[in-house]
Chains A and B, each alone.
Chain A
Amino acid sequence: MKFMDEYRDARLAAEYAQAIRRAVTRPWTIMEVCGGQTHAIVKFGVDELLPRELTLVHGPGCPVCVTPLEMIDRALAIARQPGVIFCSFGDMLRVPGSDTDLLSVKAAGGDVRMVYSPLDAVRIARENPGCEVVFFAVGFETTAPPNAMAVYQARRAGLKNFSMLVSHVLVPPAMEAILSSPNCRVQGFLAAGHVCAVMGYEEYLPIAARYRVPIVVTGFEPLDILHGVLLCVEQLEAGRAEVENQYARAVRREGNPTARGIVSEVFEVASRKWRGVGEIPSSGYRLREEFAAFDAERRFGVAGQTADEPTECLSGLILQGLKKPHECPAFGSRCTPERPLGATMVSNEGACAAYYRYRRPAV
């Protein structure tokens, strides 16, 4: 398939691996930020091709994983209410809240629907004027433009029965949080290509300079990742700390100005809680005041609802790259995709789930 097979070529992969081996002279730890990259790494076995000196740690870029427990609980509380049609992307449905998940709410009679686009939720609202339709707006900068567009269109259509439960997070503040931790092991980043396709990469320049880390904007196919690793390693070995763009076929320096425009019209930057990590200032989006009528937290009065995260789950450390999934004592025994302790085991993109599916050690 065009634009795919050429980035999954075994011979080229071997050549990249060879080039990386030649470039590496000592141990380095590189974090791939995005859950999609983690998924590709374990699915294709990219890390098996890397020299022993290189450690890839899996970053916080899985939207399902970092959505805080209390936000899932708020979603569950809304979805349980009669007369509500609760719409969500597919992989949020299985994420456990404090006591249950959205699929179980559906099984118990709730109207929970999987949609492929937030605009589908707007259409459902238009077709069901007697119901409250709520969309669970989760994700990083990548999903922010369509989500913003949904609110924008709902307002333009004068819809009174559409609202959005917003749990949007941003990549650069999370990277800074990781870098400013005293336990930080990360020496270089593969930045999330699709986030940068929207936002561009100018905001990474001060991070690379301040923390002296190379940041390589990287795509999602196996050869993209190998290429990103090679560029990052070359910088590390040469003592450089620059922002480089491996994913030039999709990413421009300034990103996508139209997408950024609609995002900043509808959303404003706000403090956000990250599952397993805690509150990070200016690390997410909330609806601007002029769109407050579309805020599901206000409409359903769930904004005050809080939840304590289970302390036994290591997902916070895993999301920061401080631990690998199999270093958790619960991994594969008390914590499995059927009985997840934390969201990193639930999401397809979660580091624990990816390890469980593709790397389960001998039992």
Chain B
Amino acid sequence: MTELMDASADFTASCPLPIGNYPHVLLAHGGGGRLMQQLIDGVFGPAFANPALDERHDGAHLTLGGQRLAFTTDSYVVRPLFFPGGDIGAMAVNGTVNDLAMCGARPRWLSAGFILEEGLPMETLQRVVASMQTAAAAAGVEIVTGDTKVVDKGRGDGLFITTAGLGVIESPGRIGPGQVRVGDVVLLSGDVGRHGMAIMSVREGLEFESPIESDCAPLVAPVMALLDAGVKVSCLRDLTRGGLVAALNEIADASGLQIDIVESAVPVIEPVRGACEILGFDPLYVANEGRFVAFVSPDTAELALTVLQRALPDIRPARIGDVVTGRPGLVTLRSAIGATRILDLLSGEQLPRIC
């Protein structure tokens, strides 16, 4: 033992070969964490570079004949197709609608592409389509074009959906990470972590005392309420994979500013907290499908919170932090016991801990 320790004390600091150049795509490349960021930075970004894409917002800001438009697309792969609080159809509409809303746009038109696996029960497809219809009506959008492909049995996971969306920007100014300023207040539209834990509980057969329902919902109404009330909105971002932390890190990174948040101010419902504790997950990293953060100027922060609380009375909108001068791109958290730590992106997906 002693000999071994002495040997290990005599280390060299040369650089060995790391496992970093993945020859295959890993699941973690789609996890909303650092690996996905690397995929965007290394593969897609350089290939497609243009001013609209380079803004790296939820959707592209475009101007056409004097009209300001927002354009976005998203693909939906979720197992199971139906889960407590939602299904792939509702997600496919709401997710794209929400990306448009985050540009300060009123969503107008959606496309829907379906990749169906041979053998998918027709009844399942009909349920999904009915759910899309309901969600589209609720969000005030029309699905105006579509496409269908069928792949061999075993070459798909039942059903994949891709939607693209077009919306008309209604905010007076630009909304995006570039508009964030020191002093801006960070508001969160509601409690976090429901969608990820709802999926987890169904997929992994985990049973909790009170079932957790996904937060899947359109965000058009609260965003429009903020704009209509005259709130000076700098940036909006809906929380998806990677949760609150991913959204805040993306904005801190893109704006070159530091964001400080207070852990105890972030609402998390008890069943989600409990499930996260059991699995060793941090709810701040868990996926959502119906929550957003709003960066607003300090003079309209109180108004904004009132507007959100009126629009979303059941999900506890809250003021969670501030934009400060500090280290560019850094997100920090004041912990429950009053100490401060960095809130970093995860490498990939959260994995349950051993003990």
Contacts and interface: CB of A to CB of B under 8 A. Distances in A.
Contacts of B2: 180-182
B18 A183 contact: no
A6 to B, nearest CB: 11
A49 B18 contact: no
Given A4-B277, A277-B8, A92 B338 contact: no
Contacts of B348: 94, 103
Interface of B: 1-2, 4-5, 8-9, 11-16, 18-20, 22, 24-28, 34-35, 38, 204, 206, 264, 270, 273-274, 277, 279-280, 282, 327, 335-342, 344, 346-348, 351-355
Given A89-B354, A322-B9, A107 B26 contact: yes
Nearest to B19: A96
29 contacts: A4-B273, A8-B337, A9-B337, A10-B337, A63-B354, A89-B352, A90-B352, A90-B353, A91-B351, A91-B353, A93-B351, A94-B347, A99-B19, A100-B19, A104-B26, A107-B25, A139-B354, A142-B355, A223-B337, A277-B8, A280-B1, A313-B11, A335-B18, A337-B347, A339-B19, A340-B18, A357-B344, A359-B341, A359-B342
Interface in A74-94: 89-94
A109 B43 CA distance: 23
Contacts, number: 171
B351 A42 contact: no
A312 B14 contact: yes
Contact of B344 (A10, A36, A177, A360): A360
B11 A13 contact: no
B187 to A, nearest CB: 23
A277 B337 contact: no
A330 B24 contact: no
Interface in A293-337: 310-314, 316-317, 320, 322, 329-330, 334-335, 337
Nearest to B339: A45
Contacts of B351: 90-91, 93-94, 114, 348
CB-CB nearest 9 A-B residue pairs: A45-B339, A90-B351, A278-B4, A339-B18, A13-B337, A90-B352, A358-B341, A48-B339, A316-B8
B337 A49 contact: yes
A285 to B, nearest CB: 15
B24 A43 contact: no
Contacts of B1: 177, 180-181, 277-280
Nearest to A329: B13
Given A180-B2, A340-B18, A48 B344 contact: no
Given A44-B339, A94-B351, A314-B11, 16 more contacts: A14-B338, A45-B339, A45-B341, A46-B337, A63-B355, A90-B351, A101-B19, A104-B22, A106-B27, A107-B24, A143-B355, A180-B1, A277-B4, A278-B1, A312-B16, A340-B19
Contacts of A157: none
Contact of B16 (A222, A329, A341, A356): A341
A163 B1 CA distance: 31
Contacts of B327: 362
A177 B4 CA distance: 11
A4 B275 CA distance: 13
Contacts of A338: 20, 34-35, 38, 347
Contact of A312 (B11, B26, B280): B11
B244 to A, nearest CB: 15
Nearest to A330: B13
A36 B354 CA distance: 10
The residue in B14, B20, B338 that gathers the most chain A C-beta atoms within 10 A of its C-beta is B338
A230 interface: no
